[in-house]
A = this chain, B = another copy of it.
Amino acid sequence: MKKPATIRDVAREAGVSVAVVSRVLNEGTGPVAPTTRAKVLEVIEDLGYRPRAAARELQQRTTSTIGLVVADLANPFFARLADRVVWEARARGVHVVVLTTQEDPHLEAESIATLIERSVASVIATPAGDNVDKWARLIDLGINVVFVDREIDQLEQIDVVTIRNDVSAEVATAHLIGLGHTRIGFISGPAATSTGRDRVAGFRRAMAAAGLSVDDELVHHIPFRGDNGSDSVGALLSMPEPPTALIVGNTAQVRSALRRIKQSEIHVPEDLSLVVFDDNPWTELVSPPLTVVRQPIEMLAVHSVDLAVGRAKGLLPEHRRRIEVDAEFVRRSSSAPARQSTPTT
């Protein structure tokens, strides 16, 4: 349990000043004679010296750390996002502090405070929806914020990386309409979230384009957490005239919804065609394999980290960036032609 060597130890041992050692450490900050450099590096190796991040940060008033704020790592979508973010960040030499909010605005506010204390350079977040002022304060302090997957309308100055939620939902809906379905249910995220709204918007647009009216009873906005997916499915299936197709656009509720369907007498896709948002490793392992909207998570992560790190280094144009990537529609076996569909005109 020996205490670690400091830059002064290295300087003394190498017979130079701390300034020289610092210059060796941070290449490009000043000239160092080749022989001196070699000597210093040797001593560094000998002593097992590692510069202390805290000291550097204190002086530079910024960190090589970024914050990642997501709801919940137990959700595969966030987990895979986090995985890629950590990975991409490492490739750029920065570390990631992960904070989870459980979709709770209060915990989110706490996370923001923490990130300020840590004076992180940037934050990548999937905002819960509230805390407008808190997020604003963050950028007010010069901390770059990138929203990924979701966004907050009032914060127009913040970078956003997201999939084209409306188009994705539109494509999924059109697919079902093409199969002859006219009564289509849609389970979405909270109306307070951009994803929750945009997906429903796309859904309605596709329905309208096909000249179909939307029964508002078939559109459910439910929270990300809890077991509401099951309840929604239950409600939809027990309607006098239940839908023949269902889109689950609430990533976090797919499992819950699926469980309820399995428990019921309903057969997929004979009785009910199913399309769900987000492709998981297991969507093709269940029976039947699910037709999904696959979000290109790697792209979301890469762009987020690019923005977060790029802004931190100040090598991005001032104006706010809005990056939208396309989701991929993957047809599997959970969607099929509507039974005894009304003849196509």
Chain A contact surface mostly: mixed
Asked if A109 is an interface residue, CB under 8 A from chain B, the answer is no
Tell me if B58 and A55 are in contact (CB < 8 A). yes
Copies in the complex: 2
Tell me if A54 and B57 are in contact (CB < 8 A). yes
Tell me if A118 and B74 are in contact (CB < 8 A). no
Asked if A140 is an interface residue, CB under 8 A from chain B, the answer is yes
Partner of A73, one of B58, B86, B113, B255: B86
Asked if A239 is an interface residue, CB under 8 A from chain B, the answer is no
Partner of A280, one of B2, B119, B282: B282
| Residues of B close to A3: CB separation below 8 A | 61, 142
| Residues of B close to A1: CB separation below 8 A | 140-142
| Residues of B close to A4: CB separation below 8 A | 116, 119, 141
Tell me if A98 and B119 are in contact (CB < 8 A). no
What distance in Å separates the Cβ of A258 from its nearest Cβ neighbour in chain B?
6
Report if A98-B96 is in contact (Cβ < 8 Å); known contacts: A73-B73, A117-B53.
Answer: yes
Partner of A100, one of B86, B97, B117, B140: B86
What distance in Å separates the Cβ of A57 from its nearest Cβ neighbour in chain B?
4
Asked if A267 is an interface residue, CB under 8 A from chain B, the answer is no
Stretch with Cβ within 8 A of B (4 or more), from A15-23, A35-43, A44-52: A44-52
Asked if A63 is an interface residue, CB under 8 A from chain B, the answer is yes
How many of A's residues come within 8 Å of B, CB to CB? 56
Question: For residue A280, which residue of chain B has the nearest CB?
Answer: B282
| Residues of B close to A95: CB separation below 8 A | 97, 99, 114, 118
Tell me if B63 and A74 are in contact (CB < 8 A). no
Partner of A53, one of B48, B73, B119: B119
Task: Compute how far the CA of A161 lies from the CA of B80 in the bound complex, rounded to whole angstroms.
Answer: 25
| Residues of B close to A280: CB separation below 8 A | 282
Asked if A285 is an interface residue, CB under 8 A from chain B, the answer is yes
Tell me if A83 and B73 are in contact (CB < 8 A). yes
| Residues of B close to A54: CB separation below 8 A | 53-55, 57-58, 63, 118-119
Max count, chain B CB within 10 A of own CB: residue among A52, A53, A58, A86: A53
Task: Compute how far the CA of A63 lies from the CA of B116 in the bound complex, rounded to whole angstroms.
Answer: 15
Asked if A8 is an interface residue, CB under 8 A from chain B, the answer is no
| Residues of B close to A99: CB separation below 8 A | 86, 90, 95
Max count, chain B CB within 10 A of own CB: residue among A1, A73, A76, A281: A73
Task: Compute how far the CA of A1 lies from the CA of B286 in the bound complex, rounded to whole angstroms.
Answer: 51
| Residues of B close to A192: CB separation below 8 A | none
| Residues of B close to A339: CB separation below 8 A | none
Tell me if A2 and B73 are in contact (CB < 8 A). no
Q: Can you give 12 A-B contacts (C-beta < 8 A)?
A: A1-B142, A50-B117, A52-B119, A53-B117, A55-B58, A65-B97, A73-B80, A74-B79, A86-B100, A97-B97, A282-B282, A285-B286
List chain A positions with a Cβ less than 8 A from chain B.
1-4, 48, 50-55, 57-58, 61, 63, 65, 72-74, 76, 79-80, 82-83, 86-87, 90, 95-100, 102, 107, 113-114, 116-119, 137, 140-142, 255, 258-259, 262, 280-282, 284-287
